[in-house]
Structure 1
Amino acid sequence: MSERPFILGLTGSIGMGKSTTANLFREAGIPVWDADRAVHQLYAEGGGAADALRELAPGAVIGGRVDRDRLRAAILRDETLLPRIEARIHPLVTEDRAAFLAEHAGAALVLCDIPLLYETGAEVGVDAVLVVTAPPEVQRARVLARPGMTTEAFEHILARQVPDAEKRRRADHILDTGAGIEAARTRVTALIAELTEMRHA
């Protein structure tokens, strides 16, 4: 029976370059599990989230899918709703992640891209954590450049997330994306080599 992969958790606050970093791992041939993508699939037609959320947020369930905009509006109206939604969705996301890990059991290294890794306690399920960071002014400019993003929405998201400084303090590895894509690629390549070597040591 082959040894299981080294599981690297990837996280970082909004606008820090997490998705770009995950893509660098994909380009290097590392299997990547994306928590956001898993949630999108669950919210889609037949994905399972509609049944889980129909009672909590009936206005957000249309047919067999969850309308993310309506769900977001419902959460903004009722601050008690989010933790109850997460309690229903989290087990479904965990099942999806377990299936991914089983599928890639023979890999040396896998990456689990989890935006709310520290917020949900998911660090207990990974072997090490990579936190992506960037200067605050870079983060703010990136986020506010997104279509439909407002300062109010940005502040609301930040308030829900563990502060960047705390994430960096708790991280096993840190990648500053403020230096540009090629610097990030170099760091990712070196980290893959380091962790793969550690796994085979």
Structure 2
Amino acid sequence: MVASSPELTPRRFTVGLTGGIGSGKSAVAELLAEMGAAVLDADRISHELTAPGGAAIAPLRAAFGDAMITAQGALDRARMRAAVFADPALRHQLESILHPRVGEVLRERAAMVKGNYLVLVVPLLVEGLARWRAYLDRIAVVDCPQALQVARVMQRSGLSAEEVRAIMATQATREARRDVADDLIDNSTSLDALRSRTRALHAQYLQMASAI
């Protein structure tokens, strides 16, 4: 559930961070934030908007009915996921509601967050690259073998391998993500290795940011 691209003003060095489900992009985002980057996560904003009392709940209820809203007043993400997998038209309808709202929040927060440079974590960045490219100085892709993606998601979420692969099938291929990457972050080994690679990228981004 990726947002429309934000209009980022004033101009800042901006990295688009992406990767397939289970690749470890959240871990990289957390490391960059610890190192001093300003990090905004489109998926987290989407979750905020679809939580109880979130700004997207009323339009989602109007579009999809009470069946898609939990008793607590949040979006029933499991039921919605099943519905949009089965019907691409529903996916487009969902995106038309969520994307503009996520984009608005990103614009507001990008103007306020403090950091040495800006990192936008966008799970489906490659799928919406035409909307995002003009705002990004670099695209960083967190990468690992698909079998490892499946295993990680199964472990953390309890989904079956078939369910995880169904989600992966709706995303850009690993090859497509690697093709657009300015910086490829391998996350197929240890956390220490990931931290080392991320630290090196952070140093590179600081140099690039200082030139703007």
Mark yes or no: TM-score above 0.5.
yes
Q: How does 1:9-24 map to 2 (within 5 A)?
A: 9-24=16-31
Shift of 1:31: 1.6
Residue identity opposite 2:55 in structure 1? G
1:173 pairs with 2:172: no
Q: Deviations over 1:92-113 (max 9, x none)?
A: 0001111111002x63311111
Shift of 1:30: 1.6
In structure 2, the residue matched to 1:80 is 89
Q: How does 1:41-80 map to 2 (within 5 A)?
A: 41-58=48-65, 59-62=67-70, 64-80=73-89
Residue identity opposite 2:166 in structure 1? H
Shift of 1:199: 1.9
**How does the TM-score come out when normalised to structure 1?**
0.90
In structure 2, the residue matched to 1:32 is 39
Residue identity opposite 1:20 in structure 2? A
Shift of 1:168: 0.7
Structure 1 residues 65 and 179: alpha-carbon distance in aligned structure 2, compared to 1, 3 A threshold: closer
Greater Cα offset, 88-97 or 107-116: 107-116
Q: Deviations over 1:59-82 (max 9, x none)?
A: 213575322233223324433201
Structure 2 unaligned segments of length 5 or more: list them.
1-8
Q: Deviations over 1:155-189 (max 9, x none)?
A: 21111111111111111100001131111111111
1:187 pairs with 2:187: no
In structure 2, the residue matched to 1:116 is 124
* Number of residue pairs the alignment of both structures matches: 199
Q: Aligned equivalents of 1:43 and 1:3: distance in 2?
A: 29
Structure 1 unaligned segments of length 5 or more: list them.
none
In structure 2, the residue matched to 1:140 is 150
Shift of 1:45: 2.3
Shift of 1:148: 2.5
Q: Deviations over 1:104-126 (max 9, x none)?
A: 2x633111111011112353232
**How does the TM-score come out when normalised to structure 2?**
0.85
